[in-house]
Amino acid sequence: MSLSLAPGGSAARSSGPSSELDALGASERTSRPIVTGTSVLGIKYQGGVMLAADTLCSYGTMAKYKDARRLLEANSGTLIGGGGEYSDFQAISMMLKANAMEDRCLSDSLYDEDDGTTEESAKEVWSYLRAVMYNRRNKMNPLWNDLLVAGFDKKSKDGKPFLGFVDKIGTAYEDNCVATGFGSYLALPILREKYRPDLEEGEARALLEDCMRVLFYRDCRALNRIQIAKVTAESGVVIHEPYEIDTSWDSEAFVQSKGGLDEGDGGWLYSSSLLFGSVVSAARHVSPQMQFLSFYMMCERLFYVLHSFMRVDDSPAIVTVTSFTSYFAPIA
């Protein structure tokens, strides 16, 4: 199957049906996010820009992939972080790598020690992604991602750090600290409160770790295994290996009883025992018929809970709801 380099550096298939779906005129697009990553955080500090993200991708509500890297190097001076649909983020990654390869092929030299003035700056990559996202949105085929772009402009003399945000409909802005997903609600206020233009690298890293810890506590799609990357004018893009942050569940909000339960974990077994106790206590003051009815309802509820954990098949060892209820029916 032949490939052609489309304008803008993206790889596209040559004309003609490439599959049976194309021949049938079927739609091949992401109609809704399936495998998604959550928040990405970014902050400027003295001498660079730092991004942080966890490594979890969720399949719906299931924490399925726990080593999904969502921070990537677009070129030697640009760092990208993405939340949302992971397959769309992979498509953006391939697109940016194709652009970087095209820039390298069109440059005057292929050596890494050159100044690399033909490379796109971080702001140019951010502007390009804004156009791509807005274009896809207008075609009703968006890339379901919120992106952070961080880096330096090697072409300018001042070499100021850059940090920008782009969402799936092409909305874009720059700021000193930005976040995607639930991080824009839970972590961004913390970043804005603690931010200073003269933040050291260690302070910025500790601040991002604190924010990722808060997200792990409060966001059910977050994980305590995170990845941090930075961009500096001297060393360029540096992406660290993932590691786990320390967590503590000793907070009163986490350990205090919920739902009026003074003890126990609140699980189905404990709640069922409470129900049995309340039924027995109340049965002392009612007629025998009501005692049996209350006991029957409690047993039926407990059976439904147990049945949800059992494998239902034709085996005689597995009890069904029909056989359970028919056992009590003659007595009633």
Which pLDDT tens digit goes with each residue over 17-58?
A: 445 555 565 566 778 889 999 999 999 999 899 999 999 999
Active-site residue, selected from the candidate residues 30, 36, 38, 61: 30
User: Considering the chain, what percentage of its residues have pLDDT values greater than 90?
Assistant: 50
Which pLDDT tens digit goes with each residue over 72-127?
A: 998 888 999 999 999 999 999 999 988 888 877 877 665 655 555 667 889 999 99
Cβ pair 175, 126 in contact under 8 A: no
Which pLDDT tens digit goes with each residue over 234-249?
A: 888 999 999 999 988 8
Token digits of residue 200: 């050291």
Amino acid at the residue 245 = I
Number of alpha carbons in the 13 Å side-chain half-sphere of residue 139: 12
291 pLDDT higher than 70: no
Token digits of residue 41: 């955080």
Sign of CA dihedral 114, 51, 47, 241: negative
Q: Which residue has the tokens 């804005």?
A: 192
Give the model's pLDDT for residue 306: 60
Burial 196-226 (b: 16+ CB within 10 A, else e): eeebeeeebbebbbebbbbbbbebebbbbbb
The model's confidence at residue 326, banded by pLDDT at 50, 70 and 90, is very low
Give the model's pLDDT for residue 93: 93
- Other residues' Cβ atoms within 10 Å of the Cβ of residue 73: 20
Give the model's pLDDT for residue 106: 77
Lowest mean pLDDT among 75-84, 133-142, 222-231, 263-272: 263-272
Cβ pair 183, 215 in contact under 8 A: yes
Q: Is 118 a catalytic residue?
A: no
